[in-house]
Amino acid sequence: MIHNQRLTAKLDGEFAVFMIGMRINQPWKIHKLIPVFRAMPRMLNELYANPELGLLSHEMWFSRTLILIQYWRSIDQLIDYAQRRDSLHLPAWQAFNKAVGTDGTVGIWHETYKAGPGSYENIYVNMPAFGLGRAGQLIEAKGSLKSAAARFNT
């Protein structure tokens, strides 16, 4: 559903923004790319099936560099998932290191940010619920929420 009004998203308390992706460096080595590519959807399915693990929402883009942005309830829950021996993450990471490691076939990257009140702002116009707007609550961007500067101060 497209929301035509100016909206902003709020998320109570602190939360984590986790950006992760892969870059295809040697596309002719498809046998090494496919297992890396398939790992993330499996982990997302696991996370959505177990909301207590802390994933709130995600967005994904595909090109030579795949980018996935995840919104987590907390940094602690993100780190806990990454280290859980019973999750799909550790086997996927071990398989990547065994099959690809540092051979240059596929690049892997991630960045993690801790956010909370007063440390972020956003605006959505003519958009469906997206990004933080899907992870949090969309509200009309009016009054004290009308400008970017003002949204940082609320």
Distance CA 79, CA 109 (A): 16
Q: How does pLDDT run across 18-69, given as a tens digit for each residue?
A: 999 999 999 999 888 888 888 899 999 999 999 999 999 999 998 888 999 9
Residue found under tokens 């469906």: 128
Nearest alpha carbon to residue 109 among 91, 122, 96: 96
Give the domains, in start order, of the chain with CATH numbers. 1-154 (3.30.70.100)
pLDDT tens digits for 62-98?
A: 888 899 999 999 999 999 999 999 999 999 999 899 9
Prediction pTM value: 0.90
* Burial class of residue 144, CB neighbours in 10 A (0-12, 13-18, 19+): exposed
